[in-house]
Every structure is written in C-alpha cells, then in structure tokens.
Chain A
Amino acid sequence: MFAKVSNDYEEELHVKVSKRVALSLVAVAALSAFALAGCGTKSSDTSGTTGKPAAEALTGSVSVSGSDTMVNLAQAWAEEFGKTNPGVMVSVKGGGSGNGIAALLNKTVDFADASRDIKPEEIEQGKAAGVDAVTTVVAKDGVVIIVNTANKVTDISKDDLGKVYRGEIMNWKDLGGADAPIVLLSRDSSSGTYGFMVDEVIGKEGKFAKATRNLQSTQAIVDEVSKNANGIGYIGLGYENATIKPIDVDGQTASVDTVLDGSYPLSRPLNMISDGEPAGVFKAYVDWILSPAGQKVVADQGFVPLTK
C-alpha cells in the first residue's frame, strides 16, 4: 500500500516538480542513515574486533539473547570481555526470557539469558528439537516493587502484592496510601520477571487483573511509574533510580545484602542457558563471567554477584 502511495506521487512529481523528488529522496536517505546509525551504536560496541589478536587469542562469535532485565548486564559483560579478548565478538539482544529461550530452542543463538528458570515444557520442546538446555546461574537479582515518588506507601506484604496484581485490592487507601485507584503496570508475558511474578506473587491459579497494562520493557515501566502518581510496577534491582520509589516487601528492603542472604522475599537467580555444556569460546565466556572480573561487572550494573 505504501509503495503505491509513493509511486503515484513520484510519477506526478516527475512531471511537475522533479526537484522536490530529489529533495525528499535526500531527506529519506538522511533519515534512514540516521536510523541505521542509531541501531549501530546500540550493538556495535560489543565487537572490539579491530584490535590485534594476541598470540593465542580466542576467536569466534557468541550470540546472546533473552531477558530484558539482564540486557544491560549482558551488554556490559560483552564490552568488558571484548576489551581483553578482541578476537571474540559477542552480540547481545533483549526481548524477554521467553524470546531468548525460544531462540535457543530454534538454534538461532548460542546463549539464552533468562531471569527465570527454564520451564519443564521448554526443556521437552528442546529435546524434541535436539537441544539439551543447560542452565548456568551467572548472577542474582531482586525484583523491586516501585511506586511514584509522591506515593506515601512504603511497605507492602507479599500477600497484599498478590491481591493488588490480581485486582482484589484496587485502591491505594487499602494499603495506607491516598484515596486513589491503583494503576497496575506489568511486563508482557514474554518477560522472565513476569513469569517470576506469576510464580511467586500471583500464584499458579491466579491471574493478572485484566486492567493491568503490559509494557514492552522494564525501562517503560520505570518511565510510566515516574510520571504516574498512582502507578505500581516491578523491575530488576539494576533499574532502580531516583525518579521512582522502591517499597519494602514484607518489611525487607531490596539490596545486594538482602538478596544474597535470601531474606528479601522476591530474590531470584539470573541464568544463562546453553545447548549442552558450554565448550570452546562459549566455555571461556561463561568462565570469565563467573570469574571475579565478570562478577565485578554484575555489581557495577546494580545486580547481585554470586559471592561477595
């Protein structure tokens, strides 16, 4: 349909004012170049392939896809790893844990990042496709419940949180806040954090309230909560910032310490899932992530390293 529009247009313009065709073509070209450049900056810094390989340097490429919670962390790992191993190109993509695992089962990536455990049916689907899914825990995370900075509520029980997200509690005054409706914000169903919330908070039999708004990224939840006085959302520990207010769950504040000792009720492992035990360049990558250098990146990104 669109092609038709521009065709009609170009024909007419050729006759009438061909100068303008050139102008709009230039504009389109400039715009697409701009868009390409925009994409480029996101992914290109993973490479670092321009450096000279050392004597027995690793070479190869590693593709990682999955959890949006982990995408910044995975990107930071890729960059750090690229500095010392310029021969290895690590590419990182988000999209949600489910997307990453689906991609792994479809054999289009080497690693799936997952902020939840792989489901039994996914393991079976993998077996059917000839993929032997092996999980490596690479970091830990707490799911933080966030509200607007103007919200007076500072604490919520895990029970009440379930009621809120199932739509059983619909007003902030029932939680000790202002008399205002609760605006529920959630990730879409491809998110590992969504899966974690279903398992831990909503309950297997329960369902997210229908009025829940499903946003496509954790950042979108942060942005909406920062603007919406009545919003509530859930995010990974690494996404905390000053524009939103994290609230305690069962009296526990989410932090590196409470997640590590397990006292924070919404703690979870962050996983990298591979087809079989990682070998070669993949093994080197995972080993490096588990090493002190890799775990330092975890702390820098606001997540919880496996050991202190």
Chain B
Amino acid sequence: MTRPSNETARRGRPGLSRAADAVVRRLIALCAWVAIVVLGAIFAFLIVNALKAIREVGLGGMIAGTDWYPTSEPPLFGFLPSEVGSLWVTGVALLLAVPIGIAASVYLSEFAKGRFKDIAKSVVEFMAAVPSVVLGLLGLAFVAPVVNSVFHLQSGLSALTAGIVVGAMSLPTIISISEDALYSVPKELRQGSLALGNTNWQTTYKVVVPAASSGIFAASMLGLGRAIGETMVVLMLAGNSGLIPNSPLLAARTMTGTIAQEMGEVVRGGQHYSVLFAMGLVLFAITFAINLAADMVLERQRKKWRR
C-alpha cells in the first residue's frame, strides 16, 4: 500500500530517501540482533533457573541418573529415562519421515505434473497446519490400536506409536524444504544430463538430488528439530513410564513431555522446578549441537557444490 507514496518521495527528495535508507538499515540490523540476544537470553534464563538443581543434585547425576521419581521421598531426578525415550521417539520419527519425505519431494519436484502437483503441494502445506493435539487424538484412535495388535504389545501407548505420529508431523517440513531445494537446481544441469543420454530417473538420482543434497540435508535437520521438540503428541501417545526403554515398543517418557507435564505442578523456585529447567538446558544443548553439526555439514556441502 505504501509503495506508491514511497516512490514519489524517492523521486522527489533524494536526501530524504537516503535518510530513510539509513533508518531502515539500522532497523533491520536491530532485528538481526534481536534473534541473537533472545537466544542468549534464553540460555542465560535456563542456566539461572537450573543453578539450584545443578548445585543440589549435580548435572552429572541428573544426566546419567537412571530413576525419575520427582515426588517421592527422597526425590530421584535421573534424566536417562527421558533422554532415551526422546531418542527412540525421534529416531523412529526420522527413520520414517526422512526416506518418505525425500522420496515424496523428489516425485513432486521431478515427476509430478500439472494439477496433481498443485493439489499435492497444497495438501502437504496444509498438513503442517494441523494442530498437534489433533494428530495426537488421531494417533490414540487409529495408530495405537494398530501398533498394539501388530506387535502384540501390552498397550499401544509406546515410543513407536508416538514416533510414527511425530514422523507424520515432520513430513511437511521435510517435503516442503527438500522440494524447494530440488526446484532450485538449475534447468541447465537437467538438460545437460538428458543431453548426454541419461534417462529422467538417472538424471534425478545422479544429478538433481546430489546437487540439492545440502538443501535436503537441511530439510531433514529441520524435521529432526521438529521431532525432538514435539510435546503434545508424545504426552498423549508415548505412555510416559519411568522405564529406560531398550526398544521402541515400550512405554517411554521424553524430555519435552516430562517438562510439560510437571512444570505446572511444581512450586516456583523449588528443587523440582529447578531440575525441570536443568532438563530444559540439556534439551537446549542437544538441539543446539544438532543445529551446529547440521550447519557445519551444510557449509562443507556448499563449498563442494559452490551453491
């Protein structure tokens, strides 16, 4: 809306527009800094609140502790059940979502045509808008009974069930971003490959997919971030036991689920409260490490492909 008036201002008064440029530049620089400051503030906030737990329970004792009985006397604050549970749920989710997501994005980008492509892409985008609690309900109604009867479990509430639904949740992220990456591979690469006598499929897996691999990798990493941070579905489906599960078929608790479930009940400033912040700190450290690793891989890929 404001564009016409801006343009007249620019044509009319160059001094003013230069001043406006400077203001806008500073404003967006400020925005860039906000992200960094907020991240730093979150980190500081987590540490400050976790200090009491680190002092009284010990970080090593929490990270390697095997028992989670936060309300018994004396309380036991071991993160291992949650850590291993998070690992299983995320692992199952990625095992399902990455291959399916990449395959779907390759199909959508390279092979799907016309109307179907448009509809399929819209549906994928729409999937991302489904609230997680709705997916949780669907999981309870449809996925849990199937998992239960297929694997002859005690109950359908297991890490596997949660992982399947979380995987479905991270699909749109993976498909959308991979598809973007594949779409942005230059036409010339495809034409060159076809001209050398490669078939469509050979072109896809020998040229296009490798060229887009950094984007596909980034997509998978964002999917991983989505999966490890998911809370509601896991709360509803994973079973939240105190076990350290040695298989995804058992009931598990995750770090996100534990924090969400128990944060409301604890008294502010108490030990349990502080322990939950320490768990948040561990979760934050893990996701930070994943993102950092992903960034480093991406950087290497970028150099390799000069993209």
- When chains A and B are docked, how far (Å) is the Cα of A189 from the Cα of B239? 14
For A214, the chain B residues whose CB sits under 8 A away are 239-241, 253, 261
Q: How far is the CB of B220 from chain A (nearest CB, A)?
A: 13
| Interface contact B262-A190, CB-CB below 8 Å | yes
> B7 in the interface, Cβ–Cβ < 8 Å?
no
B residues 65-80 near A (Cβ < 8 Å) are 67, 69-73
Give B252's nearest chain A residue, CB to CB.
A213
| Interface contact B177-A8, CB-CB below 8 Å | yes
A residues 187-235 near B (Cβ < 8 Å) are 188-190, 195, 198, 204, 207-208, 210-216, 220, 223-224, 227-228, 230-231
Give A228's nearest chain B residue, CB to CB.
B155
Contact of A213 among B140, B251, B268, B270 (CB under 8 A): B251
> B210 in the interface, Cβ–Cβ < 8 Å?
no
Q: Quick one: CB contact mask for A2-16 with B, threshold 8 Å, 1 for yes?
A: 101110110010000
> A1 in the interface, Cβ–Cβ < 8 Å?
yes
- A183-B267 contact in complex given A31-B129, A216-B236, A227-B145, C-beta closer than 8 Å: no
Of A46-54, A84-92, A98-106, A286-294, the stretch lying at the interface with chain B is A98-106
| Interface contact A102-B242, CB-CB below 8 Å | no
For B253, the chain A residues whose CB sits under 8 A away are 214
| Interface contact A188-B240, CB-CB below 8 Å | yes
| Interface contact B155-A224, CB-CB below 8 Å | yes
For B140, the chain A residues whose CB sits under 8 A away are 223
- When chains A and B are docked, how far (Å) is the Cα of A2 from the Cα of B253? 24
For A211, the chain B residues whose CB sits under 8 A away are 241-243, 250-251
- A1-B155 contact in complex given A23-B122, A98-B265, A211-B243, C-beta closer than 8 Å: no
- A125-B267 contact in complex given A1-B226, A5-B222, A27-B129, C-beta closer than 8 Å: yes
> A17 in the interface, Cβ–Cβ < 8 Å?
yes
- When chains A and B are docked, how far (Å) is the Cα of A224 from the Cα of B122? 35
How many residues from A make CB contacts under 8 Å with B? 49
- When chains A and B are docked, how far (Å) is the Cα of A48 from the Cα of B130? 32
Give A4's nearest chain B residue, CB to CB.
B222
> B94 in the interface, Cβ–Cβ < 8 Å?
no
For A220, the chain B residues whose CB sits under 8 A away are 236
- When chains A and B are docked, how far (Å) is the Cα of A122 from the Cα of B73? 15
How many residue-residue contacts, CB under 8 A, span A and B?
118
| Interface contact B125-A224, CB-CB below 8 Å | no
- A230-B261 contact in complex given A20-B122, A208-B242, A214-B241, C-beta closer than 8 Å: no
| Interface contact B240-A215, CB-CB below 8 Å | yes
- When chains A and B are docked, how far (Å) is the Cα of A125 from the Cα of B226? 37
Contact of B225 among A1, A189, A207 (CB under 8 A): A1
Q: Quick one: CB contact mask for B235-249 with A, threshold 8 Å, 1 for yes?
A: 110011111000000
| Interface contact A106-B236, CB-CB below 8 Å | no
| Interface contact B264-A96, CB-CB below 8 Å | yes
Q: How far is the CB of A160 from chain B (nearest CB, A)?
A: 19
Give A103's nearest chain B residue, CB to CB.
B264
> A95 in the interface, Cβ–Cβ < 8 Å?
yes
- When chains A and B are docked, how far (Å) is the Cα of A116 from the Cα of B176? 49
- A17-B222 contact in complex given A5-B176, A102-B267, A212-B241, C-beta closer than 8 Å: no
Give B222's nearest chain A residue, CB to CB.
A1
> B31 in the interface, Cβ–Cβ < 8 Å?
no
> B128 in the interface, Cβ–Cβ < 8 Å?
yes
Give A188's nearest chain B residue, CB to CB.
B261
- A183-B126 contact in complex given A17-B118, A98-B265, A189-B71, C-beta closer than 8 Å: no
For B81, the chain A residues whose CB sits under 8 A away are 210
- A102-B266 contact in complex given A1-B225, A17-B118, A181-B154, C-beta closer than 8 Å: yes
- When chains A and B are docked, how far (Å) is the Cα of A216 from the Cα of B240? 9
Q: Quick one: CB contact mask for A94-118 with B, threshold 8 Å, 1 for yes?
A: 0110110010011000000000000
| Interface contact A9-B265, CB-CB below 8 Å | no
| Interface contact B241-A102, CB-CB below 8 Å | no
> A242 in the interface, Cβ–Cβ < 8 Å?
no
Beyond A98-B264, A188-B262, A211-B243, 17 extra complex contacts between A and B, CB < 8 Å: A1-B222, A2-B173, A5-B128, A8-B180, A20-B118, A23-B122, A27-B126, A95-B265, A102-B267, A106-B268, A181-B154, A189-B71, A204-B73, A207-B72, A211-B251, A213-B241, A228-B155
Task: Tell me the A residues contacting B by CB distance below 8 Å.
Answer: 1-2, 4-6, 8-9, 12, 17, 20, 23-24, 27-28, 31, 35, 95-96, 98-99, 102, 105-106, 122, 125, 181, 183, 188-190, 195, 198, 204, 207-208, 210-216, 220, 223-224, 227-228, 230-231
- For the complex of A and B, the 3 pairs showing the least CB-CB separation, nearest first, are A190-B265, A98-B265, A210-B242
- 26 A-B contacts (beta carbon < 8 Å): A2-B226, A5-B173, A5-B176, A20-B121, A20-B125, A23-B122, A24-B122, A24-B125, A98-B265, A98-B266, A106-B268, A188-B261, A189-B71, A190-B262, A190-B265, A198-B72, A207-B72, A208-B69, A210-B67, A210-B81, A211-B243, A213-B241, A214-B241, A215-B157, A224-B155, A228-B148
Task: Tell me the B residues contacting A by CB distance below 8 Å.
Answer: 67, 69-73, 81, 118, 121-122, 125-126, 128-131, 140, 145, 148, 154-157, 173, 176-177, 180, 183, 222, 225-226, 235-236, 239-243, 250-251, 253, 261-262, 264-268, 270
